[in-house]
Structure 1
Amino acid sequence: MIEDIILSLLLVDLQQLIYLKIQMNHYYEVLKKNIHDLNEFKPIINKIIAEYLLVGGYPEYFECSNILKWQKRLVDDIVGRGLYRGIVRGLISFACIMI
């Protein structure tokens, strides 16, 4: 009984992966076919990618209209919560191993 449920879930996941692969291949083919039309946007795309990388690769940056608000959010939310939480968890895990 449980094996049937697991098998059906795996088949659903496999079907979704196949569908996503087909979608990705179609997306690639459309881009490849229209590459000449996209060349005029290359400078703009490069500027956006460079800006995205300069802010640390966070897409949330583009939702923020004020650079000062973004810097505060970056420090408070992303660095404060994410980085320090990861450090604390790492230290706790290390302490548990050492005990």
Structure 2
Amino acid sequence: MKFYSHLIEIESIILELDHLDLSDKEKKHLASLIDDNLHQCILDAVLSHLTPEDKKTFINHLNAKDQEKIWEFLNNKVENIEEKIKVAAKDLKTKIHKDLKIAKRIS
């Protein structure tokens, strides 16, 4: 489970994939790519607010998969980090929804 999973939902995007003329394998692959893209977006949002030394500490907590330490660390280092994560995810999800609507029209 990703440290931000309680903040972000991607079900709406997964449901959009169901409206595309794709095989199950293709849908799973796209869902995986979307999840990876979202993960990178959130990591970028978090890392952009940390010092180089804090980035190392965060990555260590992330690699240890210690949710409690991750959130304790982030909340101490970055003001309103949960909101920043939500905004970054929302922006990316909006772009993905637009792309999926275009793909639906093309197919």
TM-score (norm 1): 0.32
Structure with the higher fraction of residues in helix conformation: 1
| Rg larger in structure | 1
Q: RCO greater where, 1 or 2, for CA within 8 Å and sep 6 or more?
A: 2
